Structure 1
C-alpha cells in the first residue's frame, strides 16, 4: 500500500477539520467578508481556539485509529469505550446525537444499543447527522482490500452513535471510495455505490450517483445532514485538481465547515497523498506526529 496515500487519509481529514474549525456555522458570504478566501490556519473564531486546533471530527477518528492499532482489529466495544472516555474529557465540540448516544453508553447501554435507541427516538430532521461519517476514514486503511469486511465495520462503527441507514451506509460508501482511491481505482465512487446499491437507501444513492458520473449537482448543501455533507465533500474531494483546492473549496462554502472539510480532506488525501497537503497546514496541527505514526501502523495491518 502507498504510505503517502494512507498518510493522506488521516492528515487530510485533520487539515480539513482544522481549517474549517474557526468558521464553523458561518455563511460563505461571511467567510469571504472576513477572510477573502480562507486558505490559512487561523485562530479564534468559532470555539475560540488557536490556529490548527482539531475538533471532534479528528478526535473521534483518532479514537478509532488508536483502537484499531492497539487491538489489531476492529473492536466496536473498545471504540465505544474510547468515545466515552473522550466524552468525559469535556470536548468543546460534540454533536447532539453523539452526545446522547455516548451518555447512554456511559450509563450501561451496549455499543449496539445506544445509537439505535437515540435514532428511534429522534424525529426526522434530527436523526441522520454527519457525526459518524466524519470519523470513519481510518477504517478504510487496514480493510482496503477486504470490501465485505470494510462495509461491515463501517456500518458498525456508525451504529455506535448513528444507526440511521443513511449514516451507516454513508460510512460504507465513503470508506469503500477511500479504499478504491488507496488502490488506485479508476472509478472509486461508482465502484462503491455499485457494491452497496442493493441495500443502501435510495436517498443516498440518488444524491451520490451524479458525482460518480462526473456531474456537478445544481446545488451543493453544507448542512450537518449526512446526505448533504457526503454529497458536497465527495464532490470537492473527487473533482478538485489539487488536495489544497479540494479542502479550501469545501471550507469556503460555509455551513458545517469543519466536518465537510474533514471528509473532503480525507478523500483528497487518499487521492493525492500527504505530500500534496500544504506543509504550513500540517505543521500547524499538534497531532500530526501521532497521525503519521497511526497511518503507518494501520497500513501495516493491511499487508
Structure 2
C-alpha cells in the first residue's frame, strides 16, 4: 500500500462527504444553490436537524465494518451483521429501508448470509438496488488493498448482508478495487477494477461505469439513491476533481442523495489525494474524527484474514 495518509483520507473523506451532505439531503440542486450558493462549509441543522459535522448512517455503518475488521483481524460476516443490528437497535437518526428490513430479519434469527437475500427477493425492481452498501464499504478497500481476490469477496459478502442485488454487491467490489488501486499508487484504477468483475457483474453496472469519467455529461449526472447512479456520479466527481475538497463539494451541490453521493466521492477522492487534501475547517468539526483516523491506520497496518 502507498502512504498511510491515503488510507486515512479514505475514511475521513467518506465522513466529510457524509457530514457536508447531511444538512441538504433530499433538496434539489436549484434549492441548494438558491439558499447557499455553494455548500463548502459544514452546516448545522437542516435535514435531520443536527450540529455541524454530524454524520449519518453512511459513516456509522462504515465504522461498524472498520471496528469489526480491526478487532477480529478477519472478515467475519456475522460479527459485522451483529454490529449493524446493535447500531439499528440504538435508534439512529437515519437508516435506509432495505438496511432496516434486512437487520430486522437478522434480529429474528436469520443468518447474516440469508437476511439480505430474503428482503431482496420480496422487493420489486426499482426499490431493490439502493446505495446503502456502497456508502459504507470502503474499510474493506484499506484492509485488503494488496489482495484483490479477498477484497472482491469481502466487498460482495458485506454488501449482501443488507443489499443482495448483484448491482450492489459488484458495485461495492468495483468501488473498493478502485479505492485500493489508488492506495497502491495507481493513477487510473477504475478500468482495472471493472476488468476484474467483467463477465460476472451485471452489464448495466459495468457499461455505465465504463463511461466514467470522459464519456458522460457532467451537467446531467443523476443524484438518486439507485446504486448505479450513485457510483457513476460519485466516481466522476472524484476522478475529475483537483482535490478531495472539490470532489466532495461538487457531489453535494448536485442535490438529491447528497450525503451518500458525497460519502462515496469522498472515499475515492480521499484515496486519490490523501487526508491532507481535506480542509482543516471540516475536520475540526467532524464527528468521530479521532476514531476514523485510528481505525484507518489500524486497517492499513494490521494483517487481516480475508473471507
- Do the aligned partners of 2:73 and 2:303 also contact (CA within 8 Å) in 1? no
Q: Secondary structure of the residue that 1:111 maps to in structure 2?
A: coil
Q: Secondary structure of the residue that 1:99 maps to in structure 2?
A: helix
Q: Secondary structure of the residue that 1:50 maps to in structure 2?
A: coil
**Match for residue 17 of structure 1?**
18
- Do the aligned partners of 1:144 and 1:302 also contact (CA within 8 Å) in 2? no
**Match for residue 216 of structure 1?**
216
* Superposition map of 1:110-149 within 5 A: 110-149=111-150
- Do the aligned partners of 2:12 and 2:270 also contact (CA within 8 Å) in 1? yes
Q: Kindly state the Cα deviation for residue 158 of structure 1 after the two structures are TM-superposed.
A: 0.3
Q: Please say if 1:238 is aligned against 2:239.
A: yes
Q: Kindly state the Cα deviation for residue 184 of structure 1 after the two structures are TM-superposed.
A: 1.2
Q: Kindly state the Cα deviation for residue 302 of structure 1 after the two structures are TM-superposed.
A: 5.0
Q: d(CA) in 1 for partners of 2:294 and 2:85?
A: 23
Q: Kindly state the Cα deviation for residue 217 of structure 1 after the two structures are TM-superposed.
A: 3.7
- Do the aligned partners of 1:115 and 1:161 also contact (CA within 8 Å) in 2? yes
Runs (4+) of structure 1 exceeding 6 A deviation are: none
Q: d(CA) in 1 for partners of 2:303 and 2:215?
A: 33
**Match for residue 57 of structure 2?**
56
Q: d(CA) in 2 for partners of 1:189 and 1:224?
A: 21
Q: d(CA) in 2 for partners of 1:83 and 1:120?
A: 21
Q: Please say if 1:291 is aligned against 2:292.
A: yes
Q: d(CA) in 1 for partners of 2:139 and 2:245?
A: 20
**Match for residue 80 of structure 1?**
81
Q: d(CA) in 2 for partners of 1:286 and 1:102?
A: 24
Q: Kindly state the Cα deviation for residue 285 of structure 1 after the two structures are TM-superposed.
A: 1.0
* Superposition map of 1:120-199 within 5 A: 120-199=121-200
Q: Secondary structure of the residue that 1:262 maps to in structure 2?
A: helix
Q: d(CA) in 2 for partners of 1:286 and 1:123?
A: 36
Q: d(CA) in 1 for partners of 2:255 and 2:119?
A: 28
Q: Secondary structure of the residue that 1:112 maps to in structure 2?
A: coil
Q: d(CA) in 1 for partners of 2:19 and 2:245?
A: 13
Q: d(CA) in 1 for partners of 2:101 and 2:239?
A: 33
Q: Secondary structure of the residue that 1:105 maps to in structure 2?
A: helix
**Match for residue 268 of structure 1?**
269
RMSD after superposition: 1.0
- Do the aligned partners of 2:238 and 2:247 also contact (CA within 8 Å) in 1? yes
**Match for residue 230 of structure 2?**
229
**Match for residue 202 of structure 1?**
203
Q: 1:253 to 1:302 in 2, by over 3 A?
A: farther
Q: d(CA) in 1 for partners of 2:71 and 2:227?
A: 29
Q: What CA deviation, in whole Å up to 9, does each residue of 1:198-256 have, x standing for no partner?
A: 101011011100116x3334631000000000000000011111111100000000000
Q: d(CA) in 2 for partners of 1:184 and 1:217?
A: 28
Q: d(CA) in 1 for partners of 2:296 and 2:43?
A: 26
- Do the aligned partners of 2:140 and 2:151 also contact (CA within 8 Å) in 1? yes
Q: d(CA) in 2 for partners of 1:237 and 1:187?
A: 12
Q: What CA deviation, in whole Å up to 9, does each residue of 1:147-176 have, x standing for no partner?
A: 010000000000000000000000000000
Q: How many residues align?
A: 302
- Do the aligned partners of 2:238 and 2:268 also contact (CA within 8 Å) in 1? yes
- Do the aligned partners of 1:119 and 1:127 also contact (CA within 8 Å) in 2? yes
Q: d(CA) in 2 for partners of 1:86 and 1:158?
A: 16
Q: Kindly state the Cα deviation for residue 286 of structure 1 after the two structures are TM-superposed.
A: 2.5
Q: d(CA) in 2 for partners of 1:4 and 1:278?
A: 14
In structure 1, stretches of 5+ residues that fail to align are none
